[in-house]
Amino acid sequence: MARVPGSPLPLPAAELVAEANELAPPVPLEEARALLDDEFVRFVDIREPGEWERTGIIPGAYRASRGMLEFWVDPASPYYRPALDDGRRLVLYCGGAWRSALAAASLARMGVEDVTHIAGGFTAWSEAGYPVEPSHR
């Protein structure tokens, strides 16, 4: 029998996020802040360009919108970006840590060994008063 539009999904998004967090656990906000100046860490903002422009980014973050991330990380892809595959730990973030959870789990499944995401996302980061800079895209 077909699912009735508007009825609960057999596998809701919240469950996908919970499973993703098991595979690629988020880094606590305070720990993420401590990593900001670590040369062996690359922060990756996976939000959309409009979000970067409206709210800014974490200083020095690489901007890689969610839709292209896996292609940019994969050396076999024609869209490969070596900056996302240079041996640094990847710390992803989105607005509220749902998209970044799914993205981090996806990269972990692909074989990226040191990937995580920020608990609470950019919203928690900015509300904590941590550094934010304008996006210059």
| Sequence ranges of the domains in the chain | 16-127
Query: What is the model's pLDDT at position 2?
Result: 87
Query: What is the model's pLDDT at position 96?
Result: 96
pLDDT in tens, the chain (137 residues): 788 999 999 999 999 999 999 999 999 999 999 999 999 999 999 999 999 999 999 999 999 999 999 999 999 999 999 999 999 999 999 999 999 999 999 999 999 999 999 999 999 999 999 999 998 75
Q: Is 46 exposed, middle or buried (0-12, 13-18, 19+ CB in 10 A)?
A: buried
Query: What is the model's pLDDT at position 109?
Result: 97
Query: What is the model's pLDDT at position 136?
Result: 75
Q: Is 35 exposed, middle or buried (0-12, 13-18, 19+ CB in 10 A)?
A: middle
pTM of the model: 0.94
Query: What is the model's pLDDT at position 135?
Result: 86
- Looking only at the bridges linking them, the beta strands covering 41-45 and 62-63 are parallel
- The total of other beta-carbon atoms located within 10 Å of residue 92's CB is 31
CATH for the stretch 16-127: 3.40.250.10
Helices (H), the chain: 13-23, 29-35, 49-55, 69-73, 99-110, 121-127
Structure token digits, residue 48 = 């959309």
